[in-house]
């Protein structure tokens, strides 16, 4: 279980895969009619300091966000920030999951997010979790449930066993992290022959070496129960829920994928979701950051790294041109219909739609419903959201308009705080005397690139 | 669920590391006073067809050996083999579920192979309690089990395979498993980073049907050594040592690991780290209710035998691989043991022979070298000389048990309780006739009479088979005629 009192604080960061916009797209692709995120009711179980909910509340005034967590200080922090930013549509409650109904009453939610809960709580809490989700999920709602996932979790457990034995310091302490790093260093220094397979050495051991204190504390050193996806789905079925899809990939029950972390989407059992259908991309929008990979110009087949070492082969000659257009438009999105809507006779280019779907599953492009209100470039009075500015000021993790966490160095944070839309570029330069004009311009470009500037 | 003692494959063979003679030596090396072998009472829980016990009983007729297994057919087969080999001190019994409660604390050596890892979490304490209850005061138990973390890779494949068969609604038969393994292997081909999974799948695919069936019916699950040691507490048992050092010891760890492990005061915690850094997946641990004596290791009365062969400065293992020993003293004792074979000199005698070429070394250093060589299995310390001959005599003889085994097409139990796979043909036929009555002419005549092709029945061919039997520790001293 995740330690309640920890010296390593869980960061209040956005979790891109849980964004209602992504969940809505996943549901749309499978033939459901999800609630538009901008006026949805969103519930997060285990919301911590509100880093995942507050950016939604800030972007969408008509969206109502409720977060619960047992950690009182995290809830206080979230509540305080909601008050400071004047976000009455974000409410936070300190309550045990098992008693959540006492604060939620009969409320229903269009999106329910339970990230890092299912595998990391005791069996009774796990039961309450799905019972609660079954009770509060709205008719067309989408539930996001993450869990440690077999078969990949077996491989992770090899190193978890070692850490569990070696680390004597109390869970959540910095000393525990220190002890873990000591063992990892000894293993990395001269990896035992049994660990040199890429799954163990490459993915797990070197992953541990580079892991943050947060990951070590809340993932590798925390008590964790692994589950097969099919068992999670069976468990959910007991509460009237059905498998909708994977938050990242459409592959279901791929026994060979060595994934160890499942991001499972569920809906009400009555909804009967279909397989993702490329034609359902029509009506959506798509975006592609310039830092995403681009297929080589002369290749007919593009090999994309999928999950768990799998390779996704995309055969679509028009995909490259589409991605080039998308990269140029970034951080704004383009309508899918505009990219692939018609080919001469007015029929949609289904093969390009299928390729875009694959590229989305491989994490190359982002499919969105309406797309965030990003500025197309750096305007005379560059503006960042009030929430992003507050996070920059408070040292909290920053969320992009795509609900992705953007790691920003201190000078960028300093600049971001000033982007209230009142100051023009000359004023910005004047307020940052330590930076040259060129530096400020380049930093503004970075912020635009990271989808932090709004129109 | 099948009865616990019947979950491991029933077809057994001699295991040198689970031989009371080996356990006796290991326990002595770790400060114990193990019960004498001559009068020992030996019990195997889950003995299958008893083939591991046959050689133990045959070698020491004054021992009383008992094997328990719930499978009547396996017990019947073992009984028949024992009878044919003239082994009177082995009692094989079909275990009733109540049998485990009624054993009484009467056994000096309790063996348990392949059972623990197939026991459920709830059954494990019961099994340990039963072993503890059956042990005499100074008795030794030998428990074989899979160890985590590395056994998890085995568990991964068992899990994937089991799920996969269920997913396709296929019965859990070896044939279906083999088809499914092939399918999974093919599906994993293009994927990067799945080398581990692929090599595990490939390894599984090469197992025989009996093995696969056991894995499918009762999948094995490992235990962390540290957790096993903790679970011994309520039983009064404590950990003594390993029956084999195989995968390594603290001394063999790489530098960074050795520095980390060296800080541990507890030998049991150090032992756990060895599993991490050596990648060990299996242990055969000696357990006892008695405490160890402190003090120097006493090697008096032990003798040394090596099955390596020295060839042009290199050593050749029985399997044919060659290697060198870097450590000067260890090389000297191993070479001296090789040169002495088939005689097994006492430790004192071996030191004398080794010191002849390497003078001026303290006795303690020689003893340390012998212990290290024993730990690496370059030579073996034994309670008594194995009593085999190196050169086939006029009327070569192998044990009655080995002759019966050869007749039944089973692996042959040699003088140090190792199963030797002969293959059939001339070698198998010859082995089954070597009762010390047949000379070369008689052997050749019999081969020809039984219709073996003359080209395989030449003097040279017969010599080659006899030489190989001698080399593998199967030929015994011949009766003086």
**CB contact (8 A) between residue B163 and residue A256:** no
d(CA B179, CA A154): 23
Residue of B nearest to A152 (CA): B156
Residues A77 and A49: beta-carbon distance below 8 Å: yes
Q: Structure tokens of A245? A: 């899809």
d(CA A401, CA A454): 8
The C-alpha of A184 sits at a distance from chain B's nearest C-alpha, in angstroms, of 10
Alpha-carbon distances of B2 from A117, B100, B122, B163, B460, rounded to whole Å? 37, 15, 14, 20, 51
Full DSSP string of A121-141: S-HHHHHHHHHHHHHHEEEEE
Which residues, numbered 265 to 294 in chain A, qualify as contacts with chain B under a Cβ-Cβ cut-off of 8 Å? none
| ipTM value for the complex | 0.88
| Whole-number pLDDT of residue A253 | 42
d(CA A110, CA B136): 68
> What would the pLDDT profile of A102-155 be if each residue is shown by its tens digit?
999 999 999 999 999 999 999 999 999 999 999 999 999 999 999 999 988 998
Which member of B191, B196, B260 has the closest CB to residue A311? B191
Vertex A248: Cα angle to A243 and A249 (nearest 5): 70
**For the packed helices B209-217 and B151-167, what is the interaxial angle rounded to 10 degrees?**
80
The C-alpha of B262 sits at a distance from chain A's nearest C-alpha, in angstroms, of 12
| Whole-number pLDDT of residue B66 | 95
DSSP state for residue B144 in the 8-state scheme: E
d(CA B380, CA B382): 6
Residues of B engaging A, defined by a Cβ cutoff of 8 Å = 148-150, 152-153, 155-156, 159-160, 163-164, 167, 184, 187-188, 190-197, 199, 224, 226, 254-257, 259-260, 272, 276-279, 281
| Whole-number pLDDT of residue B1 | 42
**CB contact (8 A) between residue B163 and residue A228:** yes
> Does A169 have pLDDT greater than 90?
yes
Full DSSP string of B317-351: -TTS-EE---SHHHHHHHHHHHHHTTS--BHHHHH
Which residues are A305's β-sheet partners? A311
Residue A3: pLDDT band with limits 50, 70, 90: low
- Chain B hits for A199, Cβ within 8 Å: 193-197
Q: What is the pLDDT averaged over residues B284-301? A: 87
Place of tokens 């070896």: B174
Residue A306: pLDDT band with limits 50, 70, 90: low
| Whole-number pLDDT of residue A381 | 96
Strands B90-94 and A64-69: unpaired
| Whole-number pLDDT of residue A252 | 37
Where do runs of H (alpha helix) occur along A190-332? 206-209, 213-215, 229-237, 317-329
d(CA B408, CA B426): 14
Q: Structure tokens of A262? A: 């499942």
| Whole-number pLDDT of residue A204 | 86
Residue of B nearest to A180 (CA): B260
| Whole-number pLDDT of residue A249 | 47
Which member of A161, A187, A198 has the closest CB to residue B224? A161
| Whole-number pLDDT of residue A198 | 77
> What would the pLDDT profile of A189-225 be if each residue is shown by its tens digit?
988 888 888 778 878 899 899 999 999 999 899 999 9
Residue of A nearest to B159 (CA): A151
**CB contact (8 A) between residue A161 and residue B259:** no
Residue of B nearest to A188 (CA): B256
| Whole-number pLDDT of residue B248 | 60
Q: Is A390 on the interface with B (CB under 8 A)?
A: no
Alpha-carbon distances of B389 from B58, B398, B422, rounded to whole Å? 18, 10, 18
> Does B58 have pLDDT greater than 70?
yes
Count of Cβ atoms closer than 10 Å to residue A237 Cβ: 15
**CB contact (8 A) between residue B272 and residue A183:** no
pLDDT > 90: percent of chain B: 75
d(CA A192, CA B279): 7
Residues A67 and A90: beta-carbon distance below 8 Å: yes
d(CA A90, CA A396): 17
> Does B211 have pLDDT greater than 50?
yes
d(CA A166, CA B263): 12
**CB contact (8 A) between residue B150 and residue A189:** no
> Does A250 have pLDDT greater than 80?
no
Residue of A nearest to B150 (CA): A158
- Chain A hits for B254, Cβ within 8 Å: 189-190, 192
Residue of B nearest to A202 (CA): B193
Q: What is the pLDDT averaged over residues B174-197? A: 83
| Whole-number pLDDT of residue A9 | 86
Count of Cβ atoms closer than 10 Å to residue A101 Cβ: 16
Give the start-end residues of each E strand in A205-282: 226-227, 241-246, 261-268
Q: Is A396 on the interface with B (CB under 8 A)?
A: no
Chosen from B279, B280, B281 to mutate, greatest number of chain A CBs within 10 A:
B279
- Chain B hits for A183, Cβ within 8 Å: 260
Ranking A297-311, B47-61, B223-237 by mean pLDDT, the lowest is: A297-311
Residue A257: pLDDT band with limits 50, 70, 90: low
Residues A11 and A214: beta-carbon distance below 8 Å: yes
Ranking A99-108, A172-181, A311-320, B35-44 by mean pLDDT, the lowest is: A311-320
The C-alpha of A39 sits at a distance from chain B's nearest C-alpha, in angstroms, of 41
Place of tokens 């006026």: A39
What is the average pLDDT value for chain B, to the nearest integer? 91
Q: Is A184 on the interface with B (CB under 8 A)?
A: no
Q: Is A202 on the interface with B (CB under 8 A)?
A: yes
> What would the pLDDT profile of A16-52 be if each residue is shown by its tens digit?
999 999 999 999 999 999 999 999 999 999 999 999 9
> What would the pLDDT profile of B12-49 be if each residue is shown by its tens digit?
999 999 999 999 999 999 999 999 999 999 999 999 99
Residue B449: burial class (beta carbons within 10 Å; 0-12, 13-18, 19+): exposed
What number of CA atoms fall less than 13 Å from residue B467's CA on the CB side?
6
- Chain B hits for A198, Cβ within 8 Å: 192-196
Residue of A nearest to B157 (CA): A151
**CB contact (8 A) between residue B255 and residue A189:** yes
Residue of A nearest to B253 (CA): A192
Count of Cβ atoms closer than 10 Å to residue B356 Cβ: 10
Which member of B150, B159, B199 has the closest CB to residue A150? B159
Which member of B164, B187, B278 has the closest CB to residue A192? B278
Chosen from B194, B219, B220, B264 to mutate, greatest number of chain A CBs within 10 A:
B194
Sorted by sequence, the CB contacts under 8 Å of residue A232 that are 6+ apart come out as: A118, A145, A147, A262, A264
Sorted by sequence, the CB contacts under 8 Å of residue B356 that are 6+ apart come out as: none
The C-alpha of A226 sits at a distance from chain B's nearest C-alpha, in angstroms, of 12
Which member of A161, A197, A256 has the closest CB to residue B188? A256
pLDDT > 90: percent of chain A: 72
- Chain B hits for A232, Cβ within 8 Å: none
Q: 0.80 cut: is pTM over it?
A: yes
Q: Is A195 on the interface with B (CB under 8 A)?
A: yes
Q: Please report, for chain A, how many H helices and E strands are present, in that order.
A: 17, 15
> What would the pLDDT profile of B333-389 be if each residue is shown by its tens digit?
999 999 999 999 999 999 999 999 888 999 999 999 999 999 999 999 999 999 999
Which member of A193, A199, A228 has the closest CB to residue B279? A193
> Does A344 have pLDDT greater than 70?
no
The C-alpha of B346 sits at a distance from chain A's nearest C-alpha, in angstroms, of 36
């Amino acid at each position: 279980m995740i330690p309640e009192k920890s010296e390593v604080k869980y960061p209040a960061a956005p979790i891109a895969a849980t964004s209602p916009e992504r969940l809505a797209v996943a549901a749309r692709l499978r033939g459901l009619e999800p609630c538009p995120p901008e006026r949805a009711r969103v519930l997060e179980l285990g919301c911590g300091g509100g880093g995942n909910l507050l950016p939604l509340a800030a972007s969408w005034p008509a969206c109502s966000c409720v977060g619960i967590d047992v950690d009182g200080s995290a809830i206080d922090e979230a509540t305080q920030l909601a008050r400071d930013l004047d976000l009455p549509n974000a409410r936070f409650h300190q309550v045990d999951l098992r008693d959540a109904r006492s604060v939620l009453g009969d409320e229903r939610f269009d999106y329910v997010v339970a990230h890092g809960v299912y595998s990391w709580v005791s069996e009774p809490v796990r039961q309450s979790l799905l019972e609660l989700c079954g009770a509060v999920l709205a008719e067309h709602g989408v539930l996001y449930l993450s869990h440690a996932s077999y078969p990949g979790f077996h491989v992770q457990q090899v190193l978890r066993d070692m850490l569990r034995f070696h680390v004597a310091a109390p869970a959540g302490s910095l000393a525990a992290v220190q002890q873990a790093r000591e063992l990892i260093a000894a293993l990395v220094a001269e990896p035992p022959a049994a660990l040199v397979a890429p799954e163990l050495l490459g993915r797990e051991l070197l992953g541990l070496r580079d892991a943050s204190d947060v990951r070590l504390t809340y993932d590798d050193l925390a008590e964790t129960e692994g589950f097969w996806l099919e068992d999670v789905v069976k468990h959910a079925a007991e509460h009237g829920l059905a498998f909708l899809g994977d938050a990242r990939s459409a592959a279901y029950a791929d026994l060979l994928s060595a994934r160890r972390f499942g991001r499972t989407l569920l809906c009400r059992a009555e909804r009967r979701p279909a397989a993702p259908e490329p034609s359902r991309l029509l009506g959506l929008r798509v975006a592609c950051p310039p830092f995403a990979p681009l297929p080589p110009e002369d290749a007919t087949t593009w090999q994309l790294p999928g999950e768990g070492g799998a390779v996704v082969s995309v055969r679509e000659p028009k995909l490259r041109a589409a991605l080039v257009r998308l990269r140029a438009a970034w951080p704004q999105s383009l309508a899918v219909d505009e990219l692939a809507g018609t080919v001469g006779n007015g029929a949609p280019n289904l093969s390009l739609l299928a390729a875009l779907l694959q590229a989305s599953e491989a994490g190359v492009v982002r499919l969105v419903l309406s797309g965030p209100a990003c500025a197309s470039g750096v305007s005379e009075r560059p503006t960042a959201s009030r929430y992003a500015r507050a996070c920059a000021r408070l040292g909290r993790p920053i969320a992009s308009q795509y609900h992705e966490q953007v790691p920003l160095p201190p000078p960028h944070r300093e600049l971001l705080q000033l982007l209230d839309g009142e100051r023009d570029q000359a004023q910005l330069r004047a307020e940052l005397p330590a930076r040259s004009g060129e530096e400020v311009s380049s930093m503004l470009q970075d912020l635009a690139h990271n989808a932090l500037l709004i129109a | 669920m099948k009865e616990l003692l019947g979950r491991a494959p029933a077809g057994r063979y001699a295991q040198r590391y689970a031989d009371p003679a080996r356990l006796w030596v290991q326990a002595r090396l770790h400060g114990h006073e193990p019960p004498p072998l001559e009068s020992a009472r030996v019990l195997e829980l889950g003995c299958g067809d008893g083939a591991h016990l046959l050689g133990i009983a045959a070698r020491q007729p004054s021992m009383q050996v008992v094997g328990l297994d719930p499978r009547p057919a396996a017990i019947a087969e073992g009984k028949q083999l024992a009878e044919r080999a003239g082994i009177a001190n082995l009692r094989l019994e079909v275990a009733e579920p109540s049998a485990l409660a009624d054993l009484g604390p009467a056994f000096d050596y309790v063996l348990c192979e392949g059972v623990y890892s197939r026991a459920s979490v709830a059954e494990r304490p019961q099994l340990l309690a039963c072993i503890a209850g059956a042990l005499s005061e100074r008795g030794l138990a030998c428990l074989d089990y899979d160890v985590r973390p590395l056994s998890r890779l085995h568990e991964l494949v068992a899990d994937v395979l089991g799920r996969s068969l269920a997913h396709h609604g296929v019965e859990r038969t070896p044939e279906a498993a083999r088809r499914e393994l092939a399918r999974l292997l093919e599906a994993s081909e293009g994927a990067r980073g799945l080398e581990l999974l692929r090599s595990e799948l490939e390894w599984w695919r090469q197992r025989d049907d009996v093995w696969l069936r056991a894995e499918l019916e009762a999948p094995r699950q490992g235990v962390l050594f540290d957790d096993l040691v903790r679970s011994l507490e309520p039983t009064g048992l404590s950990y003594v040592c390993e029956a084999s050092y195989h995968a390594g010891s603290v001394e063999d760890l790489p530098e960074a690991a050795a520095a980390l492990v060296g800080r541990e005061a507890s030998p049991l915690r150090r032992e756990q780290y060895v599993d991490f850094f050596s990648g060990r997946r299996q242990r055969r641990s000696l357990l006892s209710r008695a405490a160890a004596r402190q003090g120097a290791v006493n090697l008096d009365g032990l003798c040394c035998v090596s099955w390596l062969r020295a060839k042009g400065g290199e050593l050749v293992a029985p399997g044919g691989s060659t290697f060198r020993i870097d450590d000067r003293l260890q090389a000297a004792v191993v070479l001296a043991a090789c040169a002495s074979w088939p005689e097994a000199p006492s430790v004192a005698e071996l030191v004398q022979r080794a010191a002849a070429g390497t003078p001026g070394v303290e006795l303690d250093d020689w003893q340390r070298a012998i212990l290290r060589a024993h730990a690496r299995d370059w030579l073996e310390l034994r309670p008594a000389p194995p009593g085999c001959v190196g050169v086939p005599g006029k009327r070569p003889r192998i044990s009655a048990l080995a002759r019966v085994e050869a007749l039944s097409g089973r692996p042959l139990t040699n003088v140090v309780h190792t199963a030797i796979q002969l293959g059939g043909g001339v070698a198998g036929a010859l082995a089954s006739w070597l009762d010390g009555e047949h000379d070369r002419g008689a052997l050749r005549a019999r081969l020809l009479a039984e219709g073996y092709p003359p080209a395989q029945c030449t003097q040279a061919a017969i010599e080659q088979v006899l030489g190989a039997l001698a080399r593998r520790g199967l030929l015994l001293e011949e009766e003086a005629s």
